[in-house]
Amino acid sequence: VLKGTVILKVSKPLNFSGLEVSLIGKERTNLSKTVQIPPTQDSSSQTATVFTLSKLIPIGDSHKFLNESDLLWLDGQKKDKQDSIQLDPRGYYFPFSFELPKTLPPTVQYKSYALIEYYISAKLKSDKKKFMGISTKKVMNKITKKNQTTCPFRVLGSVCKEEIAKRSQDLQFSNTKSFIFSLHRGKILLSGSLPQSYAVRGDIIPIKIEIVNDSNKDVKATEIRVVRNFVVRVRDNDGEKYEERTFSEVLVATDANLSVKKKQRVDGEVNCALPDGIVPSFAGELFEVSYDIILLAYISGVQHSKLEAMTKDILVLPCRNPLKLSKRPHQPQMHNYSSHTPPLVSTPDAIYSSGSPYQSPNHSPVWPSVPMNTYTSNSPIRINVGAPQSRPPPPAYPPNNANVTPPPAYGSLTAPIGPVPFKMTQSGHFYDLPGKPYEPPPTYEESVVDPLHSSFFQHPSSSTQYPDAPMEQRMINVIQPDGSCVPTMGWVPVTNQYTGS
């Protein structure tokens, strides 16, 4: 159960019809697609010259897999009917609680291509004045985002005991390479086995390898690789798959130190260590992460010849057991408030915490493989009604060329996570050029040493480069350290994008 409190500070009398608190889980994807421009004929030339052009356009999609709302009243009870009363100038608190699903994907961002985010949204309900059947107050609130705010929180992963039980059996995989058109005929069998088809981050996986060389060629070296796959999808207007792209990268490359002479058989066991901070496995509607283990046997006598045996869909868990979060002491009693903020407690199956999405390596979350006690942030959500205080607002979006961590006072209440905007022409239109994808500030995955980016691994991966996703400037509410809400222009991802037909 996720619990918290929304604090409403009223500076002038207010007609109050309730406070709507929503729990949102959303995945967003951004890709680029090459489209053909209809051919045109050059009429000025005597010969029929036809020009066929193409351009790269951004496409995007979003999907809310978690969307729950409650309408709260002064006594903390949920209400279906929106009665209206007048609130006096002072502070009010509204406790809320949501029951989280047992299985939730983790909060993760892959460059500028995909993002999974969670946040609590609080919106103030008030009397609606209608003009020609249209609610003018509702329309203005949607435009200015007035009297509403959001507070992001992080889900670190889920541990599904039913899925673990299904994957507790031994997993075996093999492959054979035959030499039919060679002077030295025969075949080589490469096989491997795992004790189970799941693993916990930071664990050591024992992999049994067997090589049967029934040929006249030698196996000079063997290697074990752990490969991570990011699958990003964009749907069309009918909900069907419109574009899908897979980004694969090698996380671990381990030398098995096994060589086999011709007409011999060798078997052994090699320990492969998983990195501590990798993203857990999950499968969403638009975004998924999976892991493969590949065995490679390099064969002598044939240039670039190798035998590959692969097992797919290795389930990587965030930890061995669900985390149990201990309660923090209550905050001191606040003036004009009848109660202090309830602490944030954990669900037995999902792991979550509140905090800034931009965290430095020194403040990265801990990913234990055994149960542990930890603390969570206890900052309430605040809404201010009335004139905002005159103070410079915090930056609505972190710099792209600097590793900056926001002050703790801003915490998780700053601008949303998202890619940087496109470049702009002098006419004000967006254009896109192929280039290096946007690298976001360090996430929990990048906060630990990754063999892929260290000197341990000497085979850097290469991936196709695509342009970043489009952004637009919009008025957003930025919450100050004292709880006041200041409208500020900031960059946010474009929501209405072309998705094809």
Is the pLDDT assigned to residue 189 strictly greater than 60? yes
pLDDT in tens, 59-105: 999 999 999 999 988 766 666 665 788 889 998 899 999 999 888 99
pLDDT value of residue 454: 37
pLDDT in tens, 193-204: 999 999 999 899
pLDDT in tens, 31-46: 988 887 776 655 555 5
The phi-psi region of residue 355 (left if phi > 0; otherwise alpha if psi is between -120 and 50; otherwise beta) is left
Region 284-307: what's the mean pLDDT? 88
Distance from the Cα of residue 89 to its chain's centroid: 40
Return the top range by mean pLDDT from 124-138, 208-222, 396-410. 208-222
Return the top range by mean pLDDT from 138-142, 208-212, 378-382, 385-389. 208-212
**Rounded CA separation 292/314 (Å):** 6
CA dihedral 357, 360, 362, 364 (to 10 degrees): 30
For residue 72, what are its two tokens?
């709260």
pLDDT value of residue 366: 32
Is the pLDDT assigned to residue 227 strictly greater than 80? yes
* More confident site: 92 or 387: 92
Is the pLDDT assigned to residue 399 strictly greater than 50? no
Q: Are 108 and 445 in contact (CB under 8 A)?
A: yes
pLDDT value of residue 277: 84
> Domains in the chain, ordered, with CATH?
2-36+53-159+321-449+457-493 (no CATH), 163-317 (2.60.40.640)
Instruction: Please tell me whether residue 208 adopts helix, strand or coil conformation.
Output: strand
pLDDT value of residue 86: 86
Is the pLDDT assigned to residue 395 strictly greater than 60? no
Q: Are 411 and 377 in contact (CB under 8 A)?
A: yes
**Rounded CA separation 357/411 (Å):** 8
Q: List the single range of 151-160, 211-220, 469-478 with lowest mean pLDDT.
A: 469-478
* More confident site: 220 or 462: 220
Q: What is the number of helices (H) and of strands (E) in the chain?
A: 2, 28
* More confident site: 320 or 435: 320
Q: Are 26 and 116 in contact (CB under 8 A)?
A: yes
Is the pLDDT assigned to residue 14 strictly greater than 80? yes
pLDDT value of residue 182: 61
Is the pLDDT assigned to residue 28 strictly greater than 90? yes
pLDDT value of residue 80: 62
* More confident site: 186 or 426: 186
pLDDT value of residue 296: 94
Instruction: Please tell me whether residue 151 adopts helix, strand or coil conformation.
Output: strand
pLDDT in tens, 239-278: 787 899 999 999 999 998 899 998 899 999 999 999 988 9
Is the pLDDT assigned to residue 392 strictly greater than 60? no
Is the pLDDT assigned to residue 477 strictly greater than 50? yes
pLDDT in tens, 51-60: 567 788 899 9
pLDDT in tens, 478-490: 766 666 677 777 7
Region 383-404: what's the mean pLDDT? 40
Separation of first and last alpha carbons in the chain = 40
SS (H, E, C) 110-148: ECCCEEEEEEEEEEEECCCCEECCEEHHHHHHHHHCCCE
* More confident site: 366 or 172: 172
Is the pLDDT assigned to residue 419 strictly greater than 80? no
Say which residue the tokens 């047992």 belong to: 102
Q: What is the DSSP string of 394-443?
A: PPSS--SSS--PPPTTTGGGSSPP-PPPPEE-TTS-EE----PPP-PSP-
Provide the pairing of β-strand 204-214 with 186-194.
antiparallel
**Rounded CA separation 321/239 (Å):** 36
- What's the whole-number average pLDDT of the chain? 69
Q: Are 435 and 112 in contact (CB under 8 A)?
A: no
